[in-house]
Amino acid sequence: MEDLATGPVTFWAWIQHVLDPFCGPIGLFSLFASDGLVACGDTGWGDEIALGVRVTVSLALATLPVGLLLGFIIALAMQSEERSLKIATGIYTTIFRGLPELLTLFIVYYGFQIIIQTLVTSLGGETRVEISAFFAGMLALSVVFSSYASEVLLSAFRAIPRGQYEAGSAVGLSRAKTMVLIVLPQLIRIALPGLSNLWLVLLKDTALVSVIGLTDILRQTGVAARVTKEAFLFYGLACLIYLVLATLSSIGLSAISRWANRSEASR
């Protein structure tokens, strides 16, 4: 039974190794830095840097949906006729757009942990609460991203004519269905350029999590630079990796934008 259980796991690990863009058989470090400081294995820092890339990309991808959802909710609240909601969202966006991202990260990583620990203690619990660096980074970047995304989405909401909402109501659609079927497709198309810029900013801001111990690109290359005394090599490599990620993101976002525009034109 153990062989049956470990078989798929071993096969999946082999697939991951083969498809690894850095340390796989046709990975960049394996092909171009097989015997240098960036080599994979025990002879170089390729494995550590590849891990940093995976952590950076995972953090950005985990932050994006949370930040978008929060931004969408805040944008809806900004349009609400309820005065208290407008004031609350205004305070939220002012705070997180005004604070430096690094300070927000420290507040979340240290302050949020203290708040939860205090609540647990007040309820009679004795468990020590610790927030992982990944979760703290995701939460901090999400609130910052959402504060900017809400303004982009709010502008997109205002660009959609009120007649679109009235048309949905006229054909018998509920407000929720009108939002999903009529408003949301237009909202995405209008907000996409602004959200694309925010994604690139988010990708760069992930470098901040290195200060709280998360093994991202900057932390891994920084450790390698200090150990080997080859700062220019490893920080230059970090620059190259971020530029490649930004370029790939720009290509993907341009493709999505063209698809959205074609879909709109075909209607």
CB atoms within 10 A of CB 145: 26
Tell which wins on pLDDT, 252 or 174.
252
For residues 104 and 100, give the distance between their C-alpha atoms in angstroms, rounded to a whole number: 6
What does the pLDDT read at residue 165? 73
The answer to whether residue 250 scores a pLDDT higher than 80 is yes
- 3-state per-residue secondary structure call for the chain: CHHHHHHHHHHHHHHHHHHCCCCCCCCHHHHHCCCCCCCCCCCCCHHHHHHHHHHHHHHHHHHHHHHHHHHHHHHHHHCCCCHHHHHHHHHHHHHHHHCCHHHHHHHHHHHHHHHHHHHHHHCCCCCCCCCCHHHHHHHHHHHHHHHHHHHHHHHHHHHCCHHHHHHHHHCCCCHHHHHHHHHHHHHHHHHHHHHHHHHHHHHHHHHHHHHHCCCCHHHHHHHHHHHHCCHHHHHHHHHHHHHHHHHHHHHHHHHHHHHHHHHHHCC
Lowest mean pLDDT across 7-16, 104-113, 161-170, 255-264: 7-16
At 97, list the tokens: 């757009």
Asked which of 66-70, 123-127, 241-245, 257-261 is least confident by mean pLDDT, the reply is 123-127
User: Which residue would you say has higher pLDDT here, 13 or 254?
Assistant: 254
The predicted model gives 25-54 an average pLDDT of 74
More confident residue, 141 or 32: 141
**168-215 pLDDT, tens per residue?**
777 777 777 777 777 888 888 889 999 999 999 999 999 999 998 888
Mean pLDDT, rounded, for 18-34: 63
Q: Identify the burial level of 63 via C-beta atoms within 10 angstroms of its C-beta, where 0-12 means exposed, 13-18 middle and 19 or more buried.
A: buried
How far apart CA 49 and CA 244 sit, in angstroms, is 14
Confidence of residue 16 (pLDDT cuts 50, 70, 90): low
Whether the predicted pLDDT of 1 surpasses 80: no
Q: Which of 59, 225, 42 is nearest to 132 (CA)?
A: 59
Amino acid found at 143 = V
Residue 109 CA to residue 134 CA, distance in Å, equals 10
pLDDT at 61: 94
User: What pTM value is reported for the model?
Assistant: 0.85
Residue 127 has pLDDT above 80, yes or no: no
What pLDDT is stored for residue 2 in this prediction?
Answer: 44
Q: CA-to-CA distance for 95 and 33, rounded, in angstroms?
A: 45
Distance CA 224, CA 49 (A): 9
What is the assigned CATH class of domain 48-265? Answer: mainly alpha
